[in-house]
């Protein structure tokens, strides 16, 4: 690690960034690759701008997604939904119709379509900024089978065999206590789940029964400790399983339409 990177890592560590050395190295490599000013990139990260925004990309399910301001950065925890999809649909060649509600960068939709080569899907996104990122990723990574619509969830028309959703689930009052990378930069609409964090799930409880085929599944990301409260909302659907992420935190609620 050269002196410039070491000095940059010290600056990032002083700004409270745990991954200071890694971030400094990644930004050094990025600056050299795209011929940008390294110090300017470090200053952006020092202000707690997400490194994924600065680099313009984030890996999810071994795919590289373009991301930037206006779209939620894909998290490794969300890969739990893809793992669960593979568990409940063991036939990789199934001709599934998939929906991703609030698709963001389209990471979930495209990862699912990668694993199910005979499937096709639609990502619904009401934010124009996020829609632009999703459309670009779909055109680059899955142009034939992923459709992205600038539309709210309730405009979706089923039936779908599989519905994926990473809804906003952070209680409104808790958002300011999140890391500045998240609270100051990522879109609040993708985070804010209302006073108790459950507003999006209440909307989904009324929507999913009409979107799913009989025997179809919905995979919903949930936050820490939310499984019992979320589960009670879905009276018309069967709770199949609550799956943990790699940290052991309950992360995916699997629902089935009887």
Cβ atoms of 158 and 209 closer than 8 Å: no
Q: What are phi and psi of 221, to 5 degrees?
A: -75, 140
Residues 24, 103, single domain; the answer is no
From the number of C-beta atoms within 10 Å of its C-beta (0-12, 13-18, 19+), residue 183 rates as middle
Q: Does residue 160 share a domain with residue 40?
A: no
Q: Which pLDDT score is estimated for 180?
A: 95
Q: Are residues 214 and 152 in the same domain?
A: yes
At residue 158, the pLDDT reads 84
State residue 3's pLDDT score: 83
Structure tokens belonging to residue 100? 């991703």
Give SS3 for 188.
helix
Within this chain, do residues 137 and 251 fall inside the same structural domain, yes or no? Answer: yes
For residue 61, the number of C-alpha atoms closer than 13 Å in the C-beta half-sphere is 22
Cβ atoms within 10 A of the Cβ of 215, count? 9
Name the one residue in this structure whose structure tokens are 């990177």.
5
Number of domains in the chain: 2
Residue whose C-alpha is closest to residue 61's, from 73, 79, 74, 75:
79
User: Are 17 and 143 within one domain?
Assistant: no
Burial group, residue 35, by CB count within 10 angstroms (0-12, 13-18, 19+): exposed
pLDDT at 23: 95
Domain for residue 181, yes or no? yes
Q: Is 25 among the domain residues?
A: yes
CATH number of the domain where residue 196 is located: 3.40.50.150
Specify whether 171 is located in the same domain as 79.
yes
pTM of the full structure: 0.94
| CB-CB neighbours of 136 under 10 Å | 15
Same domain as 82, residue 33:
no
Domain hosting 15: range is 3-47
Mean pLDDT by 10 residues, the chain (258 residues): 88 94 96 93 96 97 98 97 96 97 98 98 98 98 97 92 98 95 96 97 96 97 95 95 93 96
Sequence-distant (6+) residues with CB within 8 A of 33 are: none
114 and 169 both lie in a single domain: yes
């Amino acid at each position: 690690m050269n002196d410039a990177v070491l000095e940059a890592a010290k600056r990032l560590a002083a700004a409270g960034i745990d991954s200071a050395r890694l971030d400094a190295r990644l930004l050094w490599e990025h600056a050299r690759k795209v011929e940008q000013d390294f110090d300017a990139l470090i200053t952006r990260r020092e202000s707690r701008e997400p490194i994924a925004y600065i680099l313009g990309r984030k890996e999810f399910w071994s795919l590289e997604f373009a991301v930037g301001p206006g779209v939620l950065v894909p998290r490794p925890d969300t890969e739990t939904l893809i793992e669960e999809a593979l568990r409940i649909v063991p036939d990789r060649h199934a001709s599934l119709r998939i929906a991703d509600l609030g698709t963001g960068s389209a990471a979930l939709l495209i990862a699912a379509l990668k694993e199910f080569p005979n499937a096709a899907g639609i990502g619904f996104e009401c934010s124009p900024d996020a829609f632009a990122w999703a459309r670009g990723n779909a055109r680059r990574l899955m142009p034939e089978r992923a459709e992205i619509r600038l539309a709210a969830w309730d405009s979706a028309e089923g039936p779908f065999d599989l519905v994926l959703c990473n809804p906003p689930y952070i209680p409104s009052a808790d958002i300011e206590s999140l890391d500045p990378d998240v609270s100051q930069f990522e879109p609040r609409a993708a985070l804010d789940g209302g006073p108790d964090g459950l507003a999006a799930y209440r909307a989904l409880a009324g929507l999913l029964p009409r979107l799913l085929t009989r025997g179809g599944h919905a995979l919903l990301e949930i936050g820490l400790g939310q499984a019992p409260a979320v589960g009670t909302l879905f009276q018309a659907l069967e709770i199949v399983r609550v799956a943990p992420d790699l940290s052991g935190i309950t992360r995916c609620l699997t629902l089935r339409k009887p």
